[in-house]
């Protein structure tokens, strides 16, 4: 039966007043819908599920380059390798520092410039400047500005602070990832500021007014009413930014140091190693990165649930 005929049959049934007269068929239709829904979700996720499955097999030495028979050798060597944990901690440090600084700045700017003055609107517009800039371009900007012959170093020379590139502290490919953190702060601030502006626009004024009508002063109403709402509204985005930054490859490849090697760079290095035996370790690192992301998703869901409860 064609779709059109199906529809005609449904219309006939309604015209005859038979709506809902076929409970078994209706149930069957509902069941079918549910199957479609789950099927659609499986189709969307299937390449990832295949990828995860392949990574598990690769980590166990059954598949992929460097497959040398079922065993835990790859897992053991990754776990025993100090570079793994240094890389993981370094990536988490970069993600924590850049997300925290960007979040604090976004909250501060959204709070200070929440009014309706021209300067408020101008700041809210300018703060979004880095939003459309892809991460790889943001990393390029970081490199061009913070490197020892970059814009900052030139300004320091012009103002007499430095007399050669060597006077400039190493801010790119440096041990603590200062240049990378500053770049990511610049990039992620725009996104977090956008969310913070929207939270304040949606709820800030009403909350502040309520607090004031209950006798709170300007500072107190901000502290007890606006700030908690802003934090709750921003938290899911903060978690999302943290997870994204921790797994980001392109910014790290341009700005991170070779020691310690950030987790995404270590993974890529292992996966492209000329010794095939080492490539199996990349699959273990992939699974480790996935664990970090899934923990991030769980935290995101928790934060989003809290934000909704607060709305």
Partner 1 sequence: MTPARRAARTGLVSVIAVTALLPLAFLIALSVSAEWFYPSLLPRRWTVENWNVLRGESAAIGRALSMSVALALGTGGITAIAGLVAGREIARLDGWRRRIAVALAFLPVAVPPLALSIGLQYSVLRAGFGGRLGGVLFAHIVPALGYTTIFFIGIFAVFDWKVEDEARSLGAGPRDVLIRVTIPLLRRPLVEAFALGFLVSWAQVPLTLLIGQGLVSTLPLELMSYVSAGQDHLAATAGLILTIPPMVLLVMAGLAVRRLRVVVP
Q: Which two tokens stand for residue 69?
A: 């028979």
Q: How far is the CB of 86 from partner 1 (least distance, A)?
A: 18
Residues 6+ positions from 189 with CB-CB distance below 8 Å: 102, 105, 106, 127, 130
CB 146 within 8 A of CB 172: yes
Under the binding rule (CB under 8 A), the answer on residue 165 touching partner 1 is yes
For position 6 contacting partner 1 by CB under 8 A, the verdict is: yes
Give residues 45-104 in contact with partner 1 (rule: CB under 8 A). Answer: 45, 47-52, 54-55, 63-64
Interaction of residue 249 with partner 1, rule CB under 8 A: yes
Q: Which is nearer to partner 1, 42 or 79 (CB)?
A: 42
Find the binder of partner 1 among 26, 79, 89, 137 (CB under 8 A).
Answer: 137
Nearest by Cα to 90 from 266, 240, 233, 297: 266
Site for partner 1 in 181-210 (CB under 8 A): 186, 190
Alpha helical stretches, state H, the chain? 3-15, 23-59, 73-80, 82-112, 118-126, 135-146, 151-158, 178-199, 205-213, 218-221, 227-247, 250-255, 263-271, 276-310
- CA angle, corner 137, sides to 92 and 179, nearest 5? 45
Q: Tell how far CA 299 is from the center of its chain.
A: 12
Interface stretch with partner 1, choices 80-88, 116-124, 209-217, 221-229 (CB under 8 A): 116-124
- Measured CA to CA, the distance from residue 88 to residue 263 in angstroms comes to 5
Query: Where does this chain touch partner 1 (CB under 8 A) — which range of 7-15, 78-86, 212-220, 303-311?
Result: 7-15
Least distance to partner 1, CB of residue 226, Å: 19
Residue among 241, 243, 281, 303 that touches partner 1 (CB under 8 A): 243
DSSP state for residue 134 in the 8-state scheme: -
Which of residues 122, 166, 201, 218 is near partner 1 by CB under 8 A?
122
Q: What's the closest the beta carbon of residue 301 comes to partner 1, in angstroms?
A: 9
Backbone angles phi, psi at 210, to 5 degrees: -60, -45
Task: Return d(Cα 216, Cα 200) in angstroms, integer.
Answer: 18
Q: How many helices (H) and strands (E) does the chain have?
A: 14, 0
The site that binds partner 1 (CB under 8 A) totals a number of residues, namely 86
Q: List the one residue from 16, 69, 80, 158 that touches partner 1 (CB under 8 A).
A: 158
Q: How far is the CB of 223 from partner 1 (least distance, A)?
A: 19
State yes or no: residue 217 binds partner 1 (CB under 8 A).
Answer: no
Residues 6+ apart with CB under 8 A from 228: 310
Q: By CB under 8 A, name the one of 42, 89, 161, 205 that touches partner 1.
A: 42
Interaction of residue 266 with partner 1, rule CB under 8 A:
no
Under the criterion CB under 8 A, does residue 14 sit at the interface with partner 1? yes
With tokens 């995404």, the residue in question is 264
Token pair 């835990």 in the structure block, residue: 72
Rounded least distance, CB 213 to partner 1, Å = 24
């Amino acid at each position: 039966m064609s779709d059109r005929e199906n529809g005609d049959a449904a219309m006939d049934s309604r015209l005859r007043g038979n709506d809902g007269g076929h409970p078994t068929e209706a149930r069957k239709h509902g069941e079918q819908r549910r199957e479609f829904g789950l099927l659609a979700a499986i189709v969307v996720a299937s390449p990832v599920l295949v990828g995860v499955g392949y990574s598990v097999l690769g980590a166990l030495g059954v598949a992929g380059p460097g497959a040398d028979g079922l065993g835990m050798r790859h897992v053991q060597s990754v776990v025993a390798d100090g570079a793994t944990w240094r890389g993981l901690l370094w990536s988490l440090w970069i993600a924590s520092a850049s997300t925290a600084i960007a979040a604090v700045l976004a909250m501060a700017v959204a709070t200070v410039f929440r009014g309706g003055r021209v300067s408020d609107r101008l700041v809210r517009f300018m703060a979004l400047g880095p939003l459309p800039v892809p991460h790889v371009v943001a990393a390029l900007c970081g490199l061009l500005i913070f490197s020892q012959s970059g814009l900052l170093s030139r300004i320091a020379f012009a103002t007499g602070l430095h007399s050669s590139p060597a006077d400039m502290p190493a801010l790119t490919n440096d041990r603590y990832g200062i240049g990378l953190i500053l770049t990511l702060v610049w990039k992620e601030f725009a996104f977090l500021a956008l969310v913070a502006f929207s939270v304040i626009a949606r709820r800030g004024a009403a909350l502040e007014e309520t607090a004031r009508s209950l006798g709170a002063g300007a500072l107190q109403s901000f502290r007890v009413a606006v700030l908690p709402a802003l934090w709750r509204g921003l938290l899911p985005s903060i978690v999302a930014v943290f997870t994204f930054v921790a797994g980001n490859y392109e910014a790290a490849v341009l700005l991170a140091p070779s020691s310690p090697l950030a987790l995404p760079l270590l993974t890529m290095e292992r996966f492209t190693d000329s010794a095939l035996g080492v490539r199996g370790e990349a699959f273990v690192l992939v699974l480790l990165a996935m664990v970090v992301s899934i923990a991030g998703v769980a935290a995101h869901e928790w934060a989003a649930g809290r934000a909704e409860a607060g709305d």
